Structures are given as structure tokens and as C-alpha cells.
Amino acid sequence: MKKKVAVAAEATAAYIPVDTDFKWKENAGDISIDENFVAQNFWHDVFVRFFRKTSAVIGLLLIILITVFAIIGPGMNDFGYSDQYLSQKNFAPRVKALEKFGIFDGTETMKTTTGKTQVNYYQEKDMNDLYYWFGSDNFGRDIWTRTWSGARVSLIIAVAAALIDMIIGMSYGLISGYFGGKTDMLMQRFLEVANGIPRLVIVTLLLLVLKPGMLTIIFALMLTEWVGMSRIARAEMLKLKEQEFVLASRTLGANSFFIIFKEVLPNIIGPIITQVMFSIPTAIFTEAFLSFVGLGIPVPQCSLGSLISDGFNSFTTHSYQIIPPIIVMALLMLSFNLVADGLREALDPKLKEM
Amino acid sequence: MKKYTLKRIGTSLFTLLAILLVLFILMHLMPGSPFNDEKLNDDQRTVLYEKYGLDQPVPVQFVKYVGNMLRGDMGVSYNISKNTPILQLIESRLPISIRIGGCAVLIGAVAGLLLGLLAALKHDTIWDSLATVISVIGVSVPSYVFALALSYYFGFKLRWFPMLFSADTLFKSSVLPSVSLSMFTMASIARFTRSEMLEVLGSDYMLLAESKGVSGPALIFRHALRNALIPIITVLAPLIVDLMTGSLVVEKIFSIPGVGSLLVNAIQSNDYNVVIALSFIYSAMYIGIMLVVDILYGIIDPRIRLAKKGD
């Protein structure tokens, strides 16, 4: 044996190849790349599928637009969100360029017992240099500024709550699904109890115990919204945990933590992202609902919900006050739903539409 | 099947008891007391606490409460309307909420089914897109926006329906709240019906039925819709409960004297018994409906019944 190895070594030692022994084969014309079935990166595929869907793209553009306005909108004029000018109550919308066309010129039609009259407070009070783009409210606050700062508050609350929900619900569902058996049973019973208590009760109790404000609302939303996410994570885990790659990982000595978060999680990120996108409009709605009931953001801060609630009190007389926040909120919820729909289809084209 | 049903009922009862306990603890953790009239001095307050048994430790109160509840006594209100039995308090409000919620479910389910059917049968036509647009809007626009819009146009501008609820014009004044509440149900049912119907319509047994010579309404209703209905029931069930209690904002807009406003009032004035009773009723409805759906599911679809025998 030893001898043979030595011989082989001698043979290789005898000749050392040099660069000139090799040359390129001129076969550029022979190589063809299959362009019909190019292998593609998963996320690239998702990207392409998503942008092919018009409704999803429109939704995304709307979200970006509203977010941009929520950031720069309040700074676009000289009014602050809590500035009150009691002499300038209930001014109708007036915009510089548009007033020549007879719209947004600061006039509003008032219905009185004697019939309809046209009122223009800007002229009546001799304030011709004043422009309230969306009008001013009952306390003389600028509705433009308040709408966008309300949108800002609502967006922050919704996104924060959705992200925290994702982390809690996802971990809960993954752990419950992975361990199964007694652990799963206990965790699911707990979930049933948590889910059985009316959401309104939990949220109101919390808001009464803690100080009302943005953080409390986020906390309350977090406590109530994680159930849906955990259900999805658990179902996906049950589907995946019997698969070979999990077994392989376990055979290689991976611990449960590694399998749950490093092996299974990347495989279910699609449904989870979709669920997050769906839970954002729910959070916006719940926040608005709380404000409407009177448990929301404390004054003088505002959110879309509290603006709608304010506008509701005078919506038959000064309907322009409730329209901006309602439109912004409806568009926001609509576009998040459209994007979530598009994402779901893009991430899993086989999944049936629900 | 019997064993499964019994087991399911058992766990449901246990869950209800646990919910009651959690509610009890939550309520007693609350700051403040039900008797926060400033005229009361400490002695009077102690007397009141003794009278209602609030001076005893929470576990004792809990056991007593459960005992009373089994005999049909949910306690009395402390604050909202003094010493009225809770059942009496709820009795006058629950029917209104159930009426409006029930109408909303009915409108939503029927309209949603029709819309979904239309979309599935005329797949990839203008009808399909129209139904999709309606259902996306219905799911994403909150019910109280609909409520405001409806009350503005049909109540204020056109004056077809009253803007506020009143018991005198019961039918007319429940139209707007029911319709605005039904939008979400309608949209979800429509979406679900559409996808289920598309799946069923593409299945082999539909081809078989068609080749047997079944056609027209018999094909759609007896063969297709029946199979598509099973999953739809599960979606509908939680929606029903949500509608009955979650209509709070709509109740406020139309000033309906329903359960929702009672709950908020009770929470704000620390009326323990009212809060616990209402929350418990909601939870019981939720869990009860889920239970019924689970059992119904097994009866409707034999495949599920067989699968559950393994449990």
C-alpha cells in the first residue's frame, strides 16, 4: 500500500501544469440561457407579482402619500394643531388658487328657518388674507393641521401596535404549535379565555387604570389583537413541523429555539407579513372607535378618531369639518387592505383568495 | 360524536368559569369604588360595602356570585339605576341590540351570499369586478363612516328615514343602523362565498352532476351552494356576536338605547355587577356560538366527524 501511494506521489510530482496548458474554448455561441424559465429569487418574484397588481400599487402609493402628508402636512402652514383663535370659529375651507373658480372660497350655505343663505366669514370679519385650507373647527383650530397631525398619531399607534402584536402573537403561536401536547392544550385554553372577554371591557379597564394617552392605547391594542396572529403562526407551525428539514435540523443537534426561530420562522414570514398588514387597519379602526366613545387620545392632541368624533357634533351644520378626517381614514384603511391583499397574492399565488 | 360533544361542552363551561374569574379580578383591581358620591362619609361607605357584601375577600364574593348566578340572580346595579336587578336592566336593552344586530346579520348574509354567487357565476366579468370592489370597500371602510354617510343623506338631506332611533317608529328607525352595520358582514360573506363557490364549481363532482343532466338552479343551489356553505357558517358565527355588541359607535350615532352604551356607562361609573354581567353574557354568546358551530360542522360534514374521532 505504502509503495503505491509513493508511486502516485512521484507521478504527480513529475509534472506540474502551467497556465499555458489551458485555453478558453470559443463556445460563446453554444451557451444558451433559458430565458423562458429563468430561476429567480423568491423576493424578486414577489416584487414583480405585487407590482403587476394595479390595486395594490394604488394602495401603496396612497399609503406613501398619506404618510408624507402626515409628516410634512402640519408644518405646511402657520397654524399649530392646538392653536385656538376663538374669533375664527367654523370658517369654511378656502384655498388661494381655487377660490377664483368658486370652490373653496370660504363660503358655506347655511340653512335657517327663513331659508338658505350664503355666508362668508372671511369677508364678514374682514380677514381676507386668511386661508384655512380645510376650514377651521368649533374652537377656531385649523382642520388641515389637525387632520395631518391626527393621521400621524393614528399611523404611529397602528404601526406600533401591529408590530408588537406580531412579535407577541407570533412567538406565542410558534411555541404553542411546536411543542404540542400539554403545552399546546394549556396555551390554547388560555387563549380561549383571553379571546372570550369582550375587547371593549379589557381596553376600557386598561384605559381607566392607566393614564390615557398614546402609549396606553398601544398597550391596550397590543393586549387584544395578538390572538389572530398567534392562530396563524400556530397553524403554519403545525403544517411545517413534521417536514424533513425540521427533522434534519434536529438530527444535527439544533435546539428548539433554533428550530422555531431560525428554521421555521423564515418559511412562514409570508403569511405573517400579510397578517401584519391586515392588522394595521384594524388597529386604526379600534383607535378611532375608542376616541369616538370618549376613551381615546386626550385633548388637545388629536387622532383621526377624535377628529371624526368632534366633527360628528356639527356634521349637519358644518359638514366640511368631518369630511377631511373621514376621507383620510377611509383611504388609509382601504389602501392598507389593498396592499395586504396584493401581498397575500404575491407571497403565495397558490393560496385561494379569501 | 356524543363523546366529542360532551367534551366540547365541558371545556366551554370551564372556559366560561375562567372568564368570569378573570372579569371579577379585573373589576376589583379597578381604582375607585362604585359609591363615589362625595356626600358619603367613610362610615356610610362601610355600611354600603357591608350591605352588598363587597367587604368580603374576592374569592368568597366569587363563590357567592357563581352560586347566585346558577339560581338566575345576577345581582343588583349599584350606580346606574340603584338596586335594580341586573336582569331587569338588561331585559329592556338587549332586545333592541339583538333586533338591530339580527337585522344587520340577515341583510349582510343574504346580500353577501347573492353578491358572492353573482361574482362566482359571472367570474372574470364586469359583475365580478364590481362585486370585488364593493366587498373591498365594505371590509375596509368602518361601519360608523357608513352610519354617518347614511344618516346624512337618507336622514338629513332626503329625510326618508329618521336620523335618531325611536321606539315609536321602530321599523323605519332601525333601517339605517342595520344597513350600516351589515356592510362589514356583507363584504366578508361575499368574498368568502365567491372563493368557496369558485372552488366548488371547479370540482369533479360538479362536472359529474352536470353530465348527469342537472342544470340551472338545481345545480347551483343543491350541488354547489350547499357545499360552499359549510365554511361560510364559520365566518358568520363570530360576526354575529361582534355585531350584537360591537355596534357601540353606531348605537351612539343613532342614539339607540342598546347594550353597548349601558356597558360603557357601567364601566365609567364602576358598576361592578353590570359590567360583569354584560361581559359575561357577551362571552357566553361568543363561546356558545362557537360551540354550536363546531358541533354543527361535524353534523354537516361527515369528513370532519370522522377526523375528530381520532381525538
**Is A181 in the B-facing interface, judged by CB distances under 8 Å?**
no
Indicate the pTM of the whole model: 0.75
Structure confidence by residue, pLDDT tens digits, B230-282: 777 777 776 776 665 557 778 877 878 878 778 777 777 777 778 888 888 87
What is the rounded average pLDDT for all residues in chain B? 78
Residue from the list B23, B144, B267 with its beta carbon closest to the beta carbon of A197: B23
Q: Which of residues 110-129 of A touch B (CB under 8 A)?
A: none
Structure confidence by residue, pLDDT tens digits, A100-124: 666 666 667 666 666 666 676 666 6
Q: What percent of chain B has pLDDT over 70?
A: 88
Q: Which of A201, A110, A218 is nearest to A167 (CA)?
A: A218
Cis bond leading into A300, ω under 30°?
Answer: yes
The pLDDT of residue B38 = 65
The pLDDT of residue A97 = 64
Find chain B residues with C-beta within 8 A of A312's C-beta: 148, 253
Report how far apart, in Å, the C-alpha atoms of B85 and of each of A27, A215, B72, B79 are: 93, 38, 11, 12
Q: What's the rounded mean pLDDT across residues A121-147?
A: 71
Structure confidence by residue, pLDDT tens digits, A162-193: 888 888 888 888 888 888 788 888 888 888 77
Q: Find, in chain A, the residue whose alpha carbon is nearest to that of B251.
A: A293
d(C-alpha B213, C-alpha B227), whole Å: 19
**CA–CA min distance B258, chain A (Å):** 14
The pLDDT of residue A278 = 81
Statement: residue A129 has pLDDT above 50: yes
Structure confidence by residue, pLDDT tens digits, B182-231: 888 888 888 888 888 888 887 888 888 888 887 777 777 777 777 777 77
d(C-alpha A88, C-alpha A130), whole Å: 10
Q: Which of residues 103-132 of B touch A (CB under 8 A)?
A: none
d(C-alpha B113, C-alpha B107), whole Å: 10
The pLDDT of residue A352 = 44
- The ipTM is 0.71
Statement: residue A5 has pLDDT above 60: no
**CA–CA min distance A202, chain B (Å):** 9
**CA–CA min distance B44, chain A (Å):** 25
Kindly report which listed range (A131-140, A179-188, A336-345, B140-149) carries the lowest average pLDDT score.
Answer: A131-140
d(C-alpha B261, C-alpha B172), whole Å: 21
Give Cβ neighbours of residue B237 (< 8 Å, ≥ 6 apart). Answer: B289, B290, B292, B293
The pLDDT of residue A354 = 41
Q: Which of residues 317-346 of A touch B (CB under 8 A)?
A: 319, 322, 326, 329-330, 333-334, 336-338, 341
**CA–CA min distance A336, chain B (Å):** 8
Find chain A residues with C-beta within 8 A of B144's C-beta: 289, 292, 308
Find chain A residues with C-beta within 8 A of B275's C-beta: 201
Phi then psi for residue A90, to 5 deg, are 50, 45
The pLDDT of residue A291 = 78
Residue from the list B19, B152, B199 with its beta carbon closest to the beta carbon of A352: B199
Phi then psi for residue B63, to 5 deg, are -60, -45
| pLDDT range class, residue B33, cuts 50, 70, 90 | low
**CA–CA min distance B113, chain A (Å):** 14
The pLDDT of residue B177 = 84
Tell me the residue ranges of DSSP E strands in chain B. Answer: none
C-alpha cell at A127: 380677514
d(C-alpha A51, C-alpha B302), whole Å: 42
The pLDDT of residue A124 = 67
Q: Any idea what DSSP says for residue A262?
A: I
Statement: residue B134 has pLDDT above 80: yes
Domains in chain A, start-ordered, CATH in brackets? 2-31 (no CATH), 45-78+148-351 (1.10.3720.10), 92-124 (no CATH)
| pLDDT range class, residue A256, cuts 50, 70, 90 | confident
**CA–CA min distance B67, chain A (Å):** 21
Statement: residue A9 has pLDDT above 70: no
Structure confidence by residue, pLDDT tens digits, A289-301: 777 777 777 777 7
**Is B234 in the A-facing interface, judged by CB distances under 8 Å?**
no
The pLDDT of residue B74 = 73
Structure confidence by residue, pLDDT tens digits, A139-150: 767 778 888 888
Q: What percent of chain B has pLDDT over 90?
A: 0
Give Cβ neighbours of residue B295 (< 8 Å, ≥ 6 apart). Answer: B5, B8
SS3 A136: strand
The more confident residue out of B39 and B67 is: B67
The pLDDT of residue B304 = 57
The pLDDT of residue A213 = 78
**Is A232 in the B-facing interface, judged by CB distances under 8 Å?**
no
Contact predicate B181/B248, CB 8 Å: no
| pLDDT range class, residue A208, cuts 50, 70, 90 | low
Q: Which of residues 27-86 of A touch B (CB under 8 A)?
A: 55
| pLDDT range class, residue A87, cuts 50, 70, 90 | low
In a mutagenesis test of the A interface, which of B8, B36, B139, B141 is the best target, namely the one with the most A β-carbons within 10 Å? B141
Find chain A residues with C-beta within 8 A of B27's C-beta: 205
Domains in chain B, start-ordered, CATH in brackets? 1-93+270-311 (no CATH), 95-257 (1.10.3720.10)
Q: Which of B247, B266, B283, B95 is nearest to A292 (CA)?
A: B247
The pLDDT of residue B208 = 85
In a mutagenesis test of the B interface, which of A63, A191, A200, A304 is the best target, namely the one with the most B β-carbons within 10 Å? A200
Cell 360534514 identifies what position? B301
